[in-house]
Every structure is written in C-alpha cells, then in structure tokens.
A and B are shown apart, each in its own frame.
Chain A
Amino acid sequence: MSTFDVELTVNGTPRQGSVEPRRTLADFLREDLGLTGTHLGCEHGVCGACTVLVNGEPARSCLMLAVQARGADILTVEGLANNGVMNPLQQAMWESHGFQCGFCTPGFLMQITALLVENPNPGEEEIREALSGNLCRCTGYESIVNGVLRAAGHDGSPPEPRH
C-alpha cells in the first residue's frame, strides 16, 4: 500500500507525517505526533473520548482518517492550556471536580469548547444535549454539567439556576 504525506496544523503548529491511508487521525495524533492527550475508548464513534476540533467543528478522531485531515486545523486537549496555565474552561472543570479517573476528560473538554463557541451561555438542557455523545463511567455527569455552567459564568454571564 502506498503512503501519503500528511501536512496539517495541530494546536497552531504546522505538523507533518507520512501515513498509510488506514491510519486514523487519532492514531496519527497519538503515535506519530506523540500527542497522547486524545484518548481512545471504543474506536467506533460511540464514547466520544477521542473528540477533537477539526476546523473548529467537533469530530471523532477515531472515525477520521489522517489522510482526510490533510490541510486541516486541528485542536486537541493539549492546545487548551496557555504556557502551562489552564484556560477558563479547564479551571472551571477543575473547580467543579468535573472528572475522576480523567479518561473521558479530553473528549468532554473538546466537545464543551465547541459548545461554548456556538453558545457562550448554554442552559443545562443544552449542555446535556451537546454532551450526550460523550460517555463518562465515573462522575455521573453532574459535576461535568456544573463545570460547564461555571465556565459559562466565566464569560461574564451567571450560570442558569439548577433545578
């Protein structure tokens, strides 16, 4: 099988590699670029652990081939913090105890990042709807939802009251 050159931008930095077409974006990020923050759970699109942003849109990196990402702008969990300082979303999730084992966290953070860009002040229903494709086996989701509400508050508007 032939190999393909992949050039793309990851977290603002141009990166490149050479892959077989069957290489998924997730494996490319993890194995070829050493960015192991993106986690793999189910490898068939169901758990959301591998979610990254592709040109600003959330996508399952286990369901995308690296060759399909040529020229794309990818944001992974490694791109959220700034010089080792957590961004407001990470800070809010940390303050809300939005994770336990942390396996699901990178996927949640990326999906929430996309949600907050589209809707900076989501209500609880909207948050649950947006996160319904991300599975967490530890937290029971309450603390994750609280983390998003807290993060939305960081943008100047108070979180909606809980009911």
Chain B
Amino acid sequence: MKPPPFDYSAPTTLDEALALLLEHGEDARPLAGGQSLVPLLSFRLARPSHLVDLAGISELGSIVVDDGHLVIGAMVRERAAERHDDVRLLAPLLAQALPLIGHPAIRSRGTIGGSLAHADPAAELPAVALLLDAELVAQSRDRGKRTIKAADFFSGFFTTALQPDEILTEVRIRRPALRTGSAIEEVARRHGDFAMVGAAAMVRLEDGKIADARVALTGVSDIPVRATEAEAILEGAEPTDEAFATAAEEAAKSLSPPADLHGSSSYRRHLATVLMRRTFKLAAQRAKEAA
C-alpha cells in the first residue's frame, strides 16, 4: 500500500503548471487534494511518472461573484466551500451536497475541481454541476481557455472532456431564479461512504405550479444523468405528492443501473424512485418557503 515512485513539481503559477503538463505529456497528472489520486497511487491503479501539484497556484483558490455567477476556483477545498457564505446564498444545492462528501478530514483536503475532474459516477458534485448547468473552464498551454458545459463534461466512467494537457481552472454557477428550492439525498451503506444512489432536485414554482423541475442522479449509470421524463411530467403540474410519485416512477422505468456487490440493478432503481420523490417534495417545499 505504498505509492510507486514518481517525480513531483510544485509550480506557483498556472502558466508554469500548464507548461509542465505539456512537457511531461500523458505520463503527468495534476495533483489537487490527493483524496482520490493518492489512494489510486497506493493501490497502484494509477502510475503517473510526474505529479504537478496545483496547491501553490493561488489563482485557482478563490471564490468570487461575477455577474450573477458564483465562480469557484478548482483548488477551493470542499470544506472551505461548505463554510462559505456566498456558496450557501448563491448555490444552495452545492452547499447541501458538500457535507455528504466523505468525512471532515477528507473535505479539508479534497477540492471542488478534483472531484469534478475525477468524475466518480457515485460522486455528488458532478450531479450537482449537471443539474445546475454549471460551466467548467479548462485551460491548456497550446489552446488557451475553453468553457465546457457540465452536460458535455462527463463522458464516461471516471472520464471527462479534459485533455491530458488541460487543467480545470474554475466552475461557474448561475444563481438560482426566484422561488426555486433544491434538495439532495442519497443512500449509502455507511455514513460518509460513496452513496449507492443519490438524487439532486430543483423545483421552481410560479403561481403555485411547477414552472421548472430538474433532477440528476448518481450511481445509476457511468456518468451522472438527468431524469428528463420526470422533469417533463412535472412541468406545469401542481406540486403534489402524487405528481412527484408518478414522475419518479415513470422516470425510473427507463433506468438500467449497474449491479454490484452493494446492490442489484432493481434495488438501485428502487432507490432512485424513492430519492427522486423525496427530493422533489423537499425542493418544492423549499421553493414555497423561498417565495
């Protein structure tokens, strides 16, 4: 359980880090909080020959509000984001999701960018980014900056649109519209473990009816997915328990979650149904309170 040998650099600017990634090619990897990468090294599931530590790059470490967007630097620690007032105010769903990640000692090191770049199908933040239509900004030495929509970012099991020479620099999240409520819930074997299935929902009410409903699921596919059938059923509907139950049941029919040691496919589908129903209800309740 010890990592294999590798080289290491600790650049202090983004330019330097991008140059190092380019120089070392596919054998190099950014190191953020290390809460996923170090276990992968110890298990020898990852064998990069060079780690580029992003922790010394101050331009990746801030949270700012820009033109109605919350802009979170990739190296902001999960624990710091969780404690930040602007996150609670402008991205309540993110604030609700962060405490579900692992344990305090994991979140004090783990970063927002690291979680998104790692793209674990059970992870909370990729689903939250998808639900909130977050924009992920990536940068490389040769091609400069580009903005990737969350819907295009997660491309497969632990795989994203990031190229080996790219660094995820920030996430941009638009502040929610008025009368919007959100909720996230999940079922895990043990407190703090990666969840078997999770659901994040957002409901916007207008004149007492659902103007917009969204839900994203973790653990039912190799990437986080939106349950669009449920969203379509709820649009224009009254926010009743029956409507949420019908929407959840209909949407669950088209899911074919993976089966593993922790749960069969049908058990996961069942969890998804229950969690969608619960999070819709809670989100609608919060939307009412926000009105």
Task: Point out residues on A near B: beta carbons under 8 Å.
Answer: 1-2, 4, 20-22, 24, 27, 42-45, 48, 51, 54, 57-60, 62-65, 67-68, 70, 111, 114-115, 129-130, 132-134
Contact = CB atoms under 8 A, between A and B. Distances in A.
Contacts of A2: 7
Interface stretch (B98-106, B198-206, B252-260): B98-106
Contact of B109 (A22, A24, A63): A63
24 contacts: A1-B6, A2-B7, A20-B5, A43-B2, A45-B35, A54-B108, A57-B105, A57-B109, A58-B104, A58-B105, A59-B105, A60-B105, A62-B42, A63-B38, A63-B109, A64-B34, A65-B34, A67-B10, A67-B53, A68-B55, A115-B104, A130-B104, A133-B105, A134-B103
A44 B38 CA distance: 8
B187 interface: no
Contacts of B53: 67-68
Contacts of B109: 54, 57, 59-60, 63-64
B6 A22 contact: yes
Interface in B28-61: 31, 34-35, 38-39, 41-43, 51, 53, 55
Contact of B105 (A1, A24, A48, A70): A48
A45 B6 contact: no
From DSSP, what is the main secondary structure of chain B's interface residues? loop
B192 interface: yes
B3 A22 contact: yes
B3 A58 contact: no
Given A2-B7, A68-B55, A132-B103, A44 B108 contact: no
B79 A133 contact: no
A130 B5 CA distance: 34
A61 to B, nearest CB: 10
B110 to A, nearest CB: 9
Q: Which of B8, B102, B103, B106 counts the most chain A CB atoms within 10 A?
A: B103
Contacts of A44: 1, 39, 42-43
Interface in B1-36: 1-8, 10, 31, 34-35
B88 interface: no
Contact of A45 (B7, B31, B106): B106
A24 to B, nearest CB: 7
A59 B108 contact: yes
B103 A24 contact: no
Q: Which of A43, A48, A60, A114 counts the most chain B CB atoms within 10 A?
A: A60
B262 interface: no
Nearest to A118: B104
Given A45-B38, A67-B10, 4 more contacts: A44-B1, A44-B43, A45-B39, A133-B103
A51 B105 contact: yes
Interface in B84-111: 102-106, 108-109
B191 interface: yes
Nearest to A45: B39
A22 B39 CA distance: 12
Contacts of B51: 21
B45 to A, nearest CB: 11
B10 A133 contact: no
A57 B102 CA distance: 15
Nearest to A50: B105
A4 B8 contact: yes
Contacts of A129: 191
A21 B35 CA distance: 16
